[in-house]
Amino acid sequence: MSGPLQQIEKSSVAQEIVRNQAILRRADKHGVMVVAAEEGMHPATLWRMKQRRDGGKSLYDRRHLNSGPASSIDDTRKGWALAYMSGRQQVKMSVVCRELNKVALREGWPQTDYQALKRAIRALPSDLRVLLAEGSRAMFEKSSLVGRREHSRPLALVQMDASEMPVYTIHPATGEMIVPWITGVVDACSRVVPHLEFHLAVPDAIQAVAALTNAFLPKDDETNPFFGLAEVVQTDNAKIYTGTVMSGVANRAGFVLDPVPLHSPGANGKVERFFGTFKTRFAATLAGYTRQSHGKSKAKNFGVIPWEVLKSLGRRFLLEYHSSVHSELGVTPWEAWHEPISSAPGYYVPASEIRKNMRVEVSCVVRREGVAVLGSNYSGASLNGLVDEEIVVLTSAMGGDQSVDAYHRSRFIGRLRPREFVADEINTTRTARKVSLTRFRARMRDSLSEQPPADGSITVRPREERARIKKERAKKPGKHAVRTVRLTVEEELLP
C-alpha cells in the first residue's frame, strides 16, 4: 500500500490509538459506565478495550479506516452517497460504501466506514429512506408517498374502504358460520363514521355505492345524526371503486373520486386506523373473534353471535366511538363534526337530490314479463317490442324504487313501474281465492251448526251454553259422520 491511502491509514491508526488511550484514562478515573455514556459507547466495548490494553494488545481496531469518529460523515460524502443511491434501485449499502471510498481516494476525502454510512442513512426521514432503497421515480409511482391531508371542515374529504371483520357469525339464510365484511366511510376532518355497512360476503361495486349513499343520506337514528354530500371521496385502487359504476355515480352526484396511488394504504390512513380501532376495541371482545387461538372451536362452544345481533352491536359501538375523545383530535368526533359543520356546502344538499343522483346503471335483458332489477320486477309500455333486448336501468343501489329510468342504446325510452310477473300474479290470485273460499265455507258451517232443526221447537240458549255445545260438537267425528236428530214432542195434558 502506498500513496495517499497509506498516509490516510497511518493517520487513522494514530488518531484512533490516541483517542482510545484518552478514553481509557478517563475510564480509570471516572468509571467505565460514566465514560461509556459520555462517549455514546456500549460499556462492553470499553471493557474489551481495557482488556486489550492490559493484555498488551493494540488499541487500533482494524475493521475500518475512518479518520474521525465513526458516526461523523460530512455533507459532501453524504450527498454523493444519496445521489448514487437515488439512481440505482435496491443497491446494497456495502456497494455504496465501496464506491464512495473509491471517489474519496481520487478527490482526497476521508475514508468512510460502512457502519457510519449506515447510521447516516438510517437517520434520514422514513419516506426518503424508502425512495432511496427502492428507487426514486419507480418507487413513487408504486407506493406514492403522499403528504398528510388535513381539512378544517367536515365533508371536504371522506375516506372509504372495505375490510374483513374478524368475527364469526351465522348466515341468516344458510345457517353456516361465516366471516362477514364491513365497509367504512370516515370523515377526514372529524373522524366521524357516517355509516358502517355490514356484508355477508366480499362487497361488489353496487354494494359499495349503497354504503356511500347511506353515508350521505340522513338516518332515522338520533345516535347517528351525520349526513351530507362529500366533496372528495378517497378510496384504494380496488375494481369496485375504480370501475364504471362508481365513476358514473361520482359524475352524476358531483363529488370527486380520488383513488390513492398503488400499494399505498397509508394514504387512506384514517379509515385504516378506524378499522384497527374497530377490530381491537370491538371485534376482539366478542366470543367469535377469529384471531384468537382456536377461535372457530371457541365460537362453536360458547355460541356464535347472530347476524342481526352483530349489526346491532356494531351500531352501538359507533355511538361509543363518536362519544370518546380521539387521541389525535383532543376532542370527541361528535364535537369535531358539529362545531364546523355549518361551513360545509354538502350539508345543505337536499336528501331527494342525493338519492336521485346516487343511482347506478344496471344492465338487464327484457323478458315478456318485464325486467328484474336488484330483486324487484319492473314493467311498462316502453318495453313493447324489446323482448330479448338488453337495456340499461338507472336505479337506486339499495333497490326497491317506485320507478326506474330505462335506456335502450343510450336513448331514454321511459320509466318503468314495479309489477309482479305473470306467474307470480297467477299464483297469488289462486292462493287468495283458495283462502277466501276456505274462510267462506268455514263461516257457512258455523252458521248452519247454530241453526235449530227445521221441524223442532226453537229453544233459546244462553251464550255460554251455545259455546259449550259448539265445543262438544267439534270433538265428535268428522263431517262425513251421520248425525241423528232427536225430536221431542210435548203433548198437552187434558184436564
Q: Which amino acid, 44?
A: A
* The pLDDT of residue 336: 92
* The pLDDT of residue 461: 61
pLDDT digits (tens, 9 = 90+) for 240-291: 998 999 999 999 999 999 888 776 777 788 999 999 999 999 988 887 788 7
Residue in the block written with cell 475514508: 111
pLDDT of 116 higher than 90: no
Contact predicate 286/295, CB 8 Å: no
Q: Which amino acid, 277?
A: T
Domains of the chain, each with CATH number or no CATH: 4-141 (no CATH), 157-348 (3.30.420.10), 359-419 (no CATH)
The half-sphere exposure of 302 on its side-chain side, counting CA atoms within 13 A, is: 12
pLDDT of 400 higher than 90: no
Contact predicate 35/23, CB 8 Å: yes
Contact predicate 379/387, CB 8 Å: no
The span from the CA of 413 to the CA of 379, in Å, is 12
* The pLDDT of residue 420: 59
Strand, coil or helix: 466: helix
pLDDT digits (tens, 9 = 90+) for 329-379: 889 999 999 888 988 899 999 999 999 999 999 999 998 888 989 888 898
Grid cell, residue 171, equals: 348466515
pLDDT of 478 higher than 70: no
pLDDT of 3 higher than 90: no
* The pLDDT of residue 240: 92
The span from the CA of 123 to the CA of 126, in Å, is 9
pLDDT of 493 higher than 50: no
* The pLDDT of residue 301: 75
Under the banding of pLDDT at 50, 70 and 90, the label for residue 477 is low
The span from the CA of 64 to the CA of 410, in Å, is 74
The span from the CA of 338 to the CA of 334, in Å, is 6
* The pLDDT of residue 313: 92
How many CB atoms lie under 10 A from the CB of residue 240?
A: 19
472 or 316, which is more confident: 316
Under the banding of pLDDT at 50, 70 and 90, the label for residue 198 is very high
pLDDT of 213 higher than 90: yes
pLDDT of 9 higher than 50: no
pLDDT digits (tens, 9 = 90+) for 302-312: 778 889 999 99
The span from the CA of 50 to the CA of 24, in Å, is 7
pLDDT of 31 higher than 70: yes
Percent of the chain with pLDDT over 70: 80
Beta bridge partners of 158: 187, 233
